[in-house]
Chain A
Amino acid sequence: MTDDDQVFKALADPTRRHLLDRLFERDGRTLTELESELEMTRFGVMKHLRVLEQAHLVVTRRSGREKLHFLNPVPIRLIHDRWIDKYTERRVSALADLKTSLEETA
C-alpha cells in the first residue's frame, strides 16, 4: 500500500474519523482518555489508533510515564496538495527556478 492508500483507508472508517475529531478538539491524549469517550473496548480503540498511526495521522510522544496521542494533519495536507493543487503550475515553476539558482551557485 502506498502512503496515500493508508491515509484513505484510515479515513474510510467513522470511528477513526471520530478519534481524529476528538484529538482535533484537544490534542495530546492518552489511550485511557480516548477510550473513556468511546463506546468501545480498550482493545478496539487500540486497533483503530494503530491504523491511524500506520497512516501517520496520529503520532505518539512520551511525556513521563504517559504515551500521548497527537493528531498529525500533514498527510491530509499532502493529499490536498497532491490532488487539489495537481494542475497548478506554481510549484513546478518555483522548483525549476530553484534548480537553476542552485546549479548556478554550485
Chain B
Amino acid sequence: MTTMTEQTTQVYSVFIRATPEQVWDGITKPEFTARYFYGSVIDSTWQKGAAYAGWAADRSQQYVDGEVLEADPPHKLVTTWRALYDPETAAEPFSRVTWEIEPAGEHVTKLTVVHDELEAAPKTAANVAGGWSYVLSGLKTLLETGEPLEN
C-alpha cells in the first residue's frame, strides 16, 4: 500500500566530483549558496536547534525559514523548511529537508536531498518540485568547476 506520506516525499540525487567536505561547504557556506541557490545567502550556526534562514543577497527579503534538526558534517544535515517568497507557501506549515552526503568512489560524492513531511504543504510541494533539480545541478557545476580553488 502506498500511503500519502510516500506521495509527499520528493527525492533528488546527484553525483559530484568533490569530497564530502567540499559538498558540505557548498551547502552550508553562504558565499557558495549565493552562487547556485537562487542567489540566496544561507544563515545558520549549524547547531541543532539553530535557525536556518535563506536571504536575498542584499538581505532585503527572507526567502526561507527553518530550524536545524540535525547537523553531522560532512554526512547529514536536516532542517525544517518554509518558503517565504510566496504568500501561499509562507502560509503553510513547515516541511523537512534532509541532505545526505555519501562517498561514492575516489573524489566522487553522492548527494541526496529528500524533501518530505509535505502532507500539509501542497503548495510548497508543487513549488519546490522543479527547484531542487536546478539547485543541485548548480551546486554540482559550481563545485566541479571550482575544484582548483580547493587545492
* A residues apposed to B, CB below 8 Å: 3, 26-30, 33, 56, 59, 61, 63, 68, 70, 72-74, 76-78, 80-81, 91, 94-95, 98-99, 101-103, 105-106
Contact = CB atoms under 8 A, between A and B. Distances in A.
A102 B149 CA distance: 8
Which interface class (under 10, 10 to 19, 20 to 34, 35 or more) fits B?
20 to 34
Contact of A98 (B2, B31, B136): B31
Contact of B15 (A29, A56, A77): A56
28 contacts: A26-B7, A27-B6, A27-B9, A27-B11, A28-B9, A29-B6, A30-B2, A61-B11, A68-B6, A70-B11, A74-B136, A77-B133, A77-B136, A78-B14, A80-B137, A81-B138, A91-B141, A95-B35, A95-B146, A98-B31, A98-B32, A98-B149, A99-B149, A101-B31, A102-B31, A102-B149, A103-B149, A106-B149
Nearest to B39: A94
B85 interface: no
